[in-house]
């Protein structure tokens, strides 16, 4: 008890709440002065209840805010995961597009090379065709010249078949004549051949004799 300003005695009422009594509550001490003990107890209880209600409401609000924050975090996490999946898919599609472009470039390059080879072979074929055409034109000219010569000889009365036949008969007769055995020579002809020719001058020895001295 203590003395008040008007000289009357007053009660000091103290209420202490520990954290073991109420969860998530720091230690609180409430001290009041009142004229009587009963009034002091009532006021202290009112203040304590008000403090507990405030703490409970604050805790509920904080929990609600925490829950909302947690929900927002979960939503953000899910959205982030979705964005990550979209990025992965975009990267995969980008890789596929790059590979497809590389394949298309390689195919275009191979087609260009093939076209170049075909153009080269086409030029070579055209050159060969021109060469063959020139040769064919020359052959046609030669054939026309030969035909004109044949026509001229026919117009002149020359018989190619008869000439060839006559030439063949002459060749065969010459060959058969060479193959026949020669006639034997008579003895008189042989003796006449061995005799000296009267017109041939006699043999004269022009050897010079050298002395032994």
Checking if the pLDDT of 59 tops 90, the result is: no
The pLDDT value recorded for residue 136 is 84
**Bridge partners, residue 105, by sequence:** none
Q: How far apart are CA 1 and CA 10, in angstroms?
A: 5
Q: How far apart are CA 145 and CA 22, in angstroms?
A: 134
Extents of the domains making up the chain: 2-122
Summarised one tens digit per residue, pLDDT across range 90-116 is 999 999 999 999 999 999 999 999 999
CB 102 within 8 A of CB 94: no
Share of the chain above pLDDT 90, in %: 19
Average pLDDT, rounded, for the chain: 70
Token pair in block for residue 138: 């020359």
The pLDDT value recorded for residue 157 is 54
Q: How far apart are CA 19 and CA 25, in angstroms?
A: 5
- Beta strands 2-3 and 9-17, pairing class: antiparallel
Written as one string, the DSSP assignment of 65-98 is: HHHHHHHHHHHHHHHHHHHHHHHHHHHHHHHHHH
CB 43 within 8 A of CB 32: yes
- In this prediction, residue 32 has a pLDDT band, given cuts at 50, 70 and 90, of low
Of 5-14, 84-93, 186-195, the one with minimum mean pLDDT is 186-195
Structure-token match 């409430």, residue found = 30
This prediction has a pTM of 0.33
Checking if the pLDDT of 19 tops 80, the result is: no
Summarised one tens digit per residue, pLDDT across range 145-176 is 777 765 555 555 555 455 555 555 666 666 66
The pLDDT value recorded for residue 103 is 93
Question: What SS3 state is found at 127?
Answer: helix
Checking if the pLDDT of 73 tops 60, the result is: yes
Checking if the pLDDT of 194 tops 90, the result is: no
Q: How far apart are CA 95 and CA 102, in angstroms?
A: 11
């Amino acid at each position: 008890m203590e003395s008040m300003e008007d000289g009357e005695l007053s009660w000091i009422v103290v209420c202490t709440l520990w954290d073991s009594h109420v969860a998530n509550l720091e230690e609180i001490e409430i001290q009041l002065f009142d004229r009587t003990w009963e009034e002091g107890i009532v006021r202290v209880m009112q203040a304590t209840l008000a403090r507990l209600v405030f703490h409970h409401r604050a805790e509920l609000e904080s929990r609600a805010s925490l829950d909302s924050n947690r929900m927002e975090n979960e939503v953000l996490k899910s959205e982030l995961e979705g964005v990550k999946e979209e990025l992965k898919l975009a990267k995969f599609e980008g890789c596929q597009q790059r590979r497809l472009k590389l394949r298309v470039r390689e195919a275009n390059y191979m087609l260009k090379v093939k076209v170049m080879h075909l153009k080269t072979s086409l030029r070579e074929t055209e050159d060969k065709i021109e060469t063959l055409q020139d040769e064919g034109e020359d052959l046609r000219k030669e054939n026309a010249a030969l035909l004109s010569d044949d026509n001229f000889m026919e117009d002149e009365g020359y018989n190619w078949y008869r000439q060839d036949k006559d030439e063949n008969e002459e060749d065969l007769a010459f060959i058969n004549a060479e193959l026949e055995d020669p006639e034997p020579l008579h003895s008189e002809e042989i003796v006449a051949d061995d005799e000296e020719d009267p017109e041939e001058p006699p043999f004269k020895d022009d050897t010079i004799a050298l002395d032994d001295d």
